[in-house]
Structure 1
Amino acid sequence: MEARWIWLWVTLCSFWIVVHGDSGGDFFKTSEYIHPGRPGPWVQSSRGQVWPQPKLSRPNGKRYSLVHPEKFTFQLDANSAACDLIQNAVNRFYVRTFPRRTAKTAQSFNTNHPWFQALHQDPNFQGVLDSVQIVMNTKKGCEKYPHLDMDEHYEVKIDAPDSPKTASIIAFNAWGILRGFETFSQLVYGAEEHGGLYQVNSVQIMDQPRFSHRGVMLDSSRHFLSKRVIYDNLDLMEMNKMNVFHWHISDDPAFPYESLRFPNMSLKGAYRPYTHVYSQEDIREIIEYARIRGIRVMPEFDTPGHTQSWELGQPGLLAKCYRGSQPDGTLGPFDPTKDSLYDFLEVFFKEIGTVFPDNFMHLGGDEVDKMCWQSNPHIMEFVKKNLGGNLGKLESYYIEKLLPIIADLPTKNGYIVWQEVFDNKDKVKNDTIIQVWKGGPNDWANKLQQITSTGLRALLSAPWYLNYINYGSDWTNYYIIEPLNFEGTQAQKKLFVGGEACIWGEFVSSVNLIPRLWPRASAVAERLWSPEHVKDVNDAASRLQEHECRMLQRGYPVEPANGPSFCDVAW
């Protein structure tokens, strides 16, 4: 059957299924989902449970306290009070702890009311919690910028056996204090049995992340993303204890970064040079917004491919494609045979190193189409003369010329590259991190084994491409991934630094990024933060249902995670 008829037949069949078949809500009552067979939400929400689940949580029986929003305060010790990161966090987490809710759920807090007085007859009631002590145990804990090896461990104590009727957040580092703030804010919930008043249960939590790199990658080239949406995503990352904003700034469609050394690149390469560009001030503000939330901003300028938009403002970077003996008017990747290319890259990345303070840059290196190079007689002459006629070595030649430029910058940056750089056997420094993005479980597991067997560090995103969507609850697909499920020694497993949820921008813009990404990315967040044994999908569904409502209450338009449900918030 000819291809066009096959296409028509598939299209018609798909249309018939959508219109006549088991589509819509009925589909999710089949074996793929367990329908509760009663009115109400499909998944019952937990109350006062933390996402991601902490490493260790010890409830103190059934004891609880109420929390009075109008009288509650965070009390900073001397080290915390001297730290700008913690000072900035106080108001932010007060609002998160007591978010907007429907008016009917939160009655006035009247301690003289007979109903309130009756609570004292309950032996589990510990009174009203009016403050939390913030304790940072060292003066050196207030680092300026987050980094790969930052210390995020913390302890939260609420009416613990050794400190009854008090609460504290304790850490050695400001990053740990920030994570403890988020945990405390999630422990507080509106208790319907107490007229919707805020309640917190007695508990002691000791927590730290499983992996140090827990990222979200956004693509701002295919669709320009507004600063407001980037800010919202950073807020949600903090709420999910993710700590790396991987910013894929440029690609073939557009170059929205404002370079002071090469201003024509955004003037001619952006969709609109005065509205769809990130100015230097914009970038500083985004980095600062992320910094005070304990989030690194790691820029990616993908080369030598994915660079069509670079040529518009900086002509001569890309290779000319040929048909026969003449150029055909199209362009391919960078032309690695030009010395002028590396002169440009040295100046360009020196600027990037001064704009972005993170210790790592992402250099791309993926999906390089070599057909254009092969068609170009000048390039092939260079390959014949310098690379033994092996075109496959040309990309390696480029990468091996680029990496010393980055390593020799005054900022001494490390770098991350996509897995093709490893696959091509390019020579890289020992501290290079390889990001694995291809294939199914066997493919990425084998690749992680190969990478770590050479002593290089690895980062995983292959199972977490969230731009792919399904109708229904697909977060479980991301949740059940075990990233260390690859062959190798314990030394190899220690070279695995973490992972990223990626959302590419072909069909994602400022309008739909937040609901498409969250709370699906929350599943990735828990997988990268919580211990390996935390993998009960049913328990996670209940906690994720609460977390979905929590993010909605805090003002973020996240999508439903578990089918029919209700959240105590007026949207």
Structure 2
Amino acid sequence: MTSTPAAHDPNKMAVLRRTQAVFSVLLVLFVSPLPCHNVPAYQKPVMVQQTGKVLPKPQMLTVSAEAYTLAMSGFKFTYGSSSQMCDIVDQAFRRYYDLIFVVDGVKKAPVVSKDMSELTELQIMVKEPCTGVYPSLESSENYTLTVAAPMGTLVADSAWGVLRGLETFSQLVYRTDDGMIIINKTTVDDFPRFAHRGILLDTSRHFIPIKYIKQNLDAMAYNKFNVFHWHIVDDPSFPYQSVAFPDLSAKGAFNPYTHLYTQEDVKDVIEYSRLRGIRVVPEFDTPGHTASWGAGLPGFLTPCYDGSAPNGKYYAANPMLNTTYDYMTKLLQEIKDVFPDKYVHLGGDEVSFNCWKSNPDITKFMEKMGFGTDYSKLEEYYIKNILDITTSVGRDYIVWQEVLDNGVQAKSTVGEVWFEHPTIQAVLERLTAKGYRVLLAAGWYLNHDVYNPGTDWSTFYKLDPRVFNGTQAQKDLVIGGEACMWGEYVDGTNLIARLWPRASAVAERLWSNKDVTSMADATVRMDEQRCRMVRRGLNAEPLHPGFCQFEYD
């Protein structure tokens, strides 16, 4: 399946990578007698200047040549007299103060010019109460920022808009070669194009320690992503420690003592995300992708047969047993209690019918239900039950696109597009024509091998989720998208470098105006954003030969 994202299927990914590897070797052997010289033409190294360029690009940005200095001892964030106050904004004040004034882990007082006006304060106005709130799909992230000495203003409906505005403010600030911290006179009126701007992270194929999950959440905040799609379990391992079913991780994790997300870990991630305006949407994918569930949940998987006898193998949730739905009811109730977001991702992709077909009890059940030999009806039966259970516990749901293609009736369902048959645009047109809201993931699988290092991000950048044949009403049903990092070849050692700054290209496509398409302009801002993330302590990979003012240590 080389033309579609294969990361959902490890076997397909392995075949794809072996094929690519063989092709690469043959290419080197027959085209280049000196493989060490088989590199792009010389590129002059770039010293990336920090000049206060913003990514994602705001909807409206006006920057004047008039510039002001900021002094570590003289600058402060404050609330306006009628502003709402809360911990989200309080903690953001501290974070962004450090991001502006801390270099290499040390607070460095900038040089202050007596010949320039000084910006001494950024006053914040939050209109809506923000104590104890969680972000949602409907949250406002709009903000207006005005920078003019001696005091700038940042006005937003919600704390989430304040967070986005503070990120923009911090990016407008830059440090000169002689040590001055500068910001230009600026006005910004900004809001996101799409409400759902996510990063999918697979923590089943490789366990990702909490430390690196938090680093990724920081990077997401720096790029105005607002959804952490936590693909927390899958076939290879079940690292989530369930209260209702503790054996799932005890028998399904790679190591039940070290490769485990405890309830406290999950709460920690949710709170860390909340303080950065990021929703946590967990995915518990069934009926397929459940191999790791079997040992800890006896009877949940379907016994496979060779002829008239079981062959000792198990595959997929058993859709005919009431106990299957009892298990899922208890688990989904727990998920609702643990994860505050309104949505849970239920998966539903890549279900092979071979095991179900081999099982004589399933065959009898099919006859009883009047499904004949159409196993897609059995899958639809299972999915409908799971959707009903999810609704009954008070949650909405997201599913992979196969569920929509197989005819689920609920128009409130959000479908995530992950493969391209025959094209991404054709899939978007087909699903929105049926009235479904959709997210785009196809085309943004960042775990795929980087064949053109430093330039493949341009492909991500050029993919617009709303460019397809359809009415405006159809295009409005595309509510966002996600950059995906599947875990076959990614763990804590390379997660950040593989994702960033490539995911920044997706961030801009999901936030900025549809007319923001200049690759030349984006390249300059991508360079600066990469160096900005490096200065902030993230090992974001380089885009081409060159160097940053502050290197990763």
Q: CA offsets, 1:492-521, max 9 Å, x none?
A: 111110000001001101111110001000
Q: CA offsets, 1:302-325, max 9 Å, x none?
A: 000000111111111111111111
Matched, 1:156 2:169: no
- Candidates 159, 169, 180, aligned match of 1:184: 169
Q: CA offsets, 1:174-228, max 9 Å, x none?
A: 1100101100000110123xx1211001110110000000000000111111000
Q: CA offsets, 1:275-317, max 9 Å, x none?
A: 1111111101110000010000000000000001111111111
Partner of 2:255: 272
The offset of 1:569, in angstroms, is 3.1
Relative distance call for 1:373 and 1:9 in structure 2 (3 A) is closer
Paired amino acid for 2:92:
A
Partner of 1:74: 77
Matched, 1:468 2:452: no
Q: CA offsets, 1:79-107, max 9 Å, x none?
A: 6562111011111111112241599x978
Q: Is the 8 A contact 2:72 2:110 kept in 1?
A: no
Structure 1 stretches of 4+ with a deviation exceeding 4 A read: 6-12, 21-24, 43-46, 78-81, 105-108
Matched, 1:431 2:444: no
- Candidates 310, 335, 344, aligned match of 1:352: 335
Matched, 1:134 2:147: no
Instruction: Select the structure of larger CA radius of gyration.
Output: 1
Matched, 1:481 2:471: no
Relative distance call for 1:446 and 1:367 in structure 2 (3 A) is same
Partner of 2:154: 169
After superposition, the CA RMSD in angstroms is 2.3
The offset of 1:265, in angstroms, is 0.8
CA distance in 1, matches of 2:473, 2:437: 11
Q: Is the 8 A contact 2:197 2:480 kept in 1?
A: yes
Paired amino acid for 1:287:
I
Matched, 1:20 2:33: yes
Equivalent residue of 1:268, what SS? Answer: helix
Equivalent residue of 1:250, what SS? Answer: coil
- Candidates 40, 51, 73, aligned match of 1:47: 51
Relative distance call for 1:303 and 1:8 in structure 2 (3 A) is closer
- Candidates 221, 234, 238, aligned match of 2:217: 234
Equivalent residue of 2:285, what SS? Answer: strand
Partner of 2:4: none
Q: Is the 8 A contact 2:397 2:414 kept in 1?
A: yes
Partner of 1:541: 523
Paired amino acid for 2:365:
F
Q: Is the 8 A contact 1:102 1:568 kept in 2?
A: no
Equivalent residue of 1:332, what SS? Answer: strand
When structure 1 is superposed on structure 2, of 499-508 and 138-147 the one drifting more is 138-147
Matched, 1:393 2:377: yes
- Candidates 388, 392, 403, aligned match of 2:387: 403
Q: Is the 8 A contact 2:48 2:549 kept in 1?
A: no
The offset of 1:388, in angstroms, is 3.1
Paired amino acid for 1:466:
L
Relative distance call for 1:449 and 1:166 in structure 2 (3 A) is same
The offset of 1:134, in angstroms, is 1.1
- Candidates 100, 110, 121, aligned match of 1:97: 100
CA distance in 1, matches of 2:493, 2:228: 19
CA distance in 2, matches of 1:8, 1:173: 50
Q: Is the 8 A contact 2:144 2:188 kept in 1?
A: yes
Equivalent residue of 1:345, what SS? Answer: helix
CA distance in 2, matches of 1:78, 1:347: 47
Partner of 1:145: 134
Paired amino acid for 1:318:
L
Relative distance call for 1:106 and 1:90 in structure 2 (3 A) is closer
Paired amino acid for 1:480:
K
Aligned pair count? 533
Relative distance call for 1:8 and 1:98 in structure 2 (3 A) is closer
Paired amino acid for 2:45:
G
CA distance in 1, matches of 2:73, 2:109: 13
Equivalent residue of 1:228, what SS? Answer: helix
Relative distance call for 1:143 and 1:562 in structure 2 (3 A) is farther
Q: Is the 8 A contact 1:45 1:542 kept in 2?
A: no
The offset of 1:27, in angstroms, is 2.9
Matched, 1:516 2:498: yes
Q: CA offsets, 1:39-79, max 9 Å, x none?
A: 531x854610111000001123x100011123211112256
Structure-to-structure mapping, 1:269-308, within 5 angstroms: 269-308=252-291
Partner of 1:446: 426
CA distance in 2, matches of 1:350, 1:107: 51
Relative distance call for 1:478 and 1:291 in structure 2 (3 A) is same
TM-score between both structures, scaled by the size of structure 1: 0.89
Q: CA offsets, 1:107-137, max 9 Å, x none?
A: 853x5xxxx44xx3xxxx4x1112111112x
